[in-house]
A and B are shown apart, each in its own frame.
Chain A
Amino acid sequence: MPSPPKNAAVIEEACLLARMGVGDREAFRELYSRYSAPLFSLAVRMVGDFGQAEELVQDTFLKIWRNAASFDPRRSRPFTWAVTITRRTCIDHLRKRRHNPVSTSLVPEEDLPREFSSVETVRRSAENSEDNELLRGALAEVPANQRQVLELVLFSEMTQSEIAEHLERPVGTVKSWIRRGLLELRKTLTESPP
């Protein structure tokens, strides 16, 4: 059995989820105050549209509220769990948008801040090694090709096979870059904790 998390913030947040599981709104507000900015930023990055990101973050927090009691601290930290819900919500949205592009209302690409993603902007920013807005902190240590595939696998709706096809590389190579990128990031984090 994995050992319990030791970080006080992690325990606090797990307790917030436990309280939410019995309907405690105050706990929900506290969790929202901690997570709303990073989750909103993640949604903006994934869909490239503030309005859609807002809708998706609404859906995300509703899911967090409804499923709080099922959070399992053995499986992940609370933030990891919330990020997973956000990513899945955004990916569902992006896949629907891909199949039904008429229904979207994306802002013109030239109006997007450079850090915005969506499928095309993830590709564009990931491929543009000069885009230093993205190269903050630990990310700057990850080589460009590895960062590119990490960006695509984390922030776009593409499968790893689709990423390989897009990059015209074998799937095995893409997976290898993902592994090495994540290891590099982990190593950097170990050396410089937040």
Chain B
Amino acid sequence: MNPQLEELAFQYALDQLNPSERAAFEARLDHDAALAEWVRELQDAVDRYVRELPRHEPPPGLLARIEARIGHPEVRRNPRSPALWSVVARWGIAAVIAVGVGIIAVQSLRQAPLSAGHSLMVVGLEPHQSTLAELPLLTRPQNADARFIQLASLAEQYWEKPEDLPFKMASSGQGGRGYALFDPSGRESATICGSLTPPRAKSARRGCCP
């Protein structure tokens, strides 16, 4: 490896570059997989160093104090931040987020009558109910990545603008809400949820479904 590049990799892994140097180096990382892998290994070494420090548990009340500072509402977006779908789509993960009711709703879709062709199924998720609708589409992306991005960006759009939904949600969104979109022919789904309480009678699954 070019010694100058190698030195930059070390400095990057140790977070020693200034913002402009960092941006230039990151631009290079985007096109050099071997360099990126090398940097990742160095970062892993730093992480391991940190994890091997003598362990101290934080005080028990710290989480509550942080949450108090976060405040309400639970749902908040930074408009200057990249969209959720763009973060996840970079990985090509087929599903974004599945929380509680989302799983139940998607399961219910399996029994729903699915029309062939250019349509998606949309589920509005609320604490104790879900609402199902079919959304006709004018265009259908031709590849899996583009279809997933379409799903996720629509889910995000509904998150931002519930008034765009093809149905009316029953409540004002108190207690959490979410949207699940399902592409019947592509067998892909995207779900965005926040603070939904799973029904007690059902088992809930939380986490990521790559």
Contact = CB atoms under 8 A, between A and B. Distances in A.
Interface centre among A14, A26, A67, A72 (most CB of B within 10 A): A26
B165 interface: no
Interface centre among A18, A154, A194 (most CB of B within 10 A): A18
B137 interface: no
Given A74-B30, A80-B43, A189-B48, A12 B208 contact: yes
Interface stretch (B50-58, B118-126, B139-147): B50-58
A22 B46 contact: no
B200 interface: no
A120 to B, nearest CB: 18
B10 interface: yes
Contact of B45 (A74, A76, A182): A182
Contacts of A66: 78
B70 A21 contact: no
Given A24-B194, A83-B46, A115 B53 contact: yes
A12 B45 contact: no
Contacts, number: 206
Contacts of B53: 38, 41-42, 45, 115
A58 B207 CA distance: 25
Contact of B40 (A2, A133, A194): A2
A58 B65 contact: yes
A189 B128 CA distance: 48
Interface stretch (B85-93, B107-115, B181-189): B85-93
A83 B169 CA distance: 41
Given A12-B207, A69-B83, A73-B91, 8 more contacts: A18-B88, A23-B77, A28-B67, A58-B65, A136-B54, A139-B52, A175-B7, A186-B44
22 contacts: A1-B33, A4-B91, A11-B208, A15-B97, A21-B84, A22-B97, A22-B194, A25-B67, A28-B67, A32-B66, A37-B55, A38-B51, A67-B78, A67-B81, A69-B77, A74-B90, A83-B47, A83-B50, A138-B48, A189-B48, A190-B41, A194-B51
